[in-house]
Copies of this chain bind each other. A is one copy, B any other.
Amino acid sequence: MSTHSFTEENYLKLIYALVSRGADEVSTNALAEVTATRAASVTDMLKRLADKQLVHYRKYQGVRLTDEGERLALTIIRRHRLWEVFLVDKLGFGWDQVHEMAEELEHIRSDELVERLDSFLGNPQFDPHGDPIPTPAGHMPAAPSQKMADLLPNESACLLGVLDHSAAFLQHLDRSGLVLGCTVNVSEISPFDRSMRVTIPPGQTLFVSYDVARNLLVGPTKA
């Protein structure tokens, strides 16, 4: 029943994120980068997390989560994503506005609160950015992995998520009319800059730059 500080919880979440998109162990510098602190501060914190058995840490060798550390990281991510659903679905925020608030809300300590929130929201499977919501037990469901940029001409797919979570990118999608869940059909790909011409539901045509397409995740269309 030990309790953890916001700071510790944030480190765990970031270690999880770095491990899941890359190497097996995370470097001190990589963590200093994402925590916006100095390497010396990271070393300090890694020692503390190792004391609490939340990470495996060997000097100069980088760090990875223990089972308990990963379980904890996933509950924080679960909370973050459920609160984002609340903010968008219930309070009407835009998907580009909710990240900072969820960064705070995810630390509210109450399992019952999270589980009641989950049912209030209708047990959503994905957050507003298409990221899967971990189970209460701490299991991360599979996420879509195919990028829109990998589609071939004439292929259709369903828009499922974003890789770039920046407000600028999300607002660009809003302006383009690209919405999660919508079906896109690739009509043409320019060999020069890999930009795509795609059509979306009510017969609308639009151009998608490679920079956008490689940050969009797609999956099979709902038949």
Contact = CB atoms under 8 A, between A and B. Distances in A.
Instruction: Give the residue among A91, A93, A112, A117 with the most B Cβ atoms within 10 A.
Output: A91
A55 B101 CA distance: 29
Interface residues of A, number: 18
Nearest to A92: B116
A93 to B, nearest CB: 7
B109 A91 contact: no
Contact of A91 (B92, B101, B107, B113): B113
A175 interface: no
A110 B120 CA distance: 22
For this chain, the copies found in one complex come to 2
Interface in A58-113: 87, 90-93, 100-101, 104-105, 107-110, 112-113
Nearest to A105: B108
Contacts of A87: 113
Given A92-B116, A105-B105, 9 more contacts: A90-B120, A91-B120, A93-B116, A100-B110, A101-B108, A101-B110, A104-B107, A104-B109, A105-B108
8 contacts: A87-B113, A90-B120, A91-B113, A91-B116, A91-B117, A93-B112, A104-B107, A105-B108
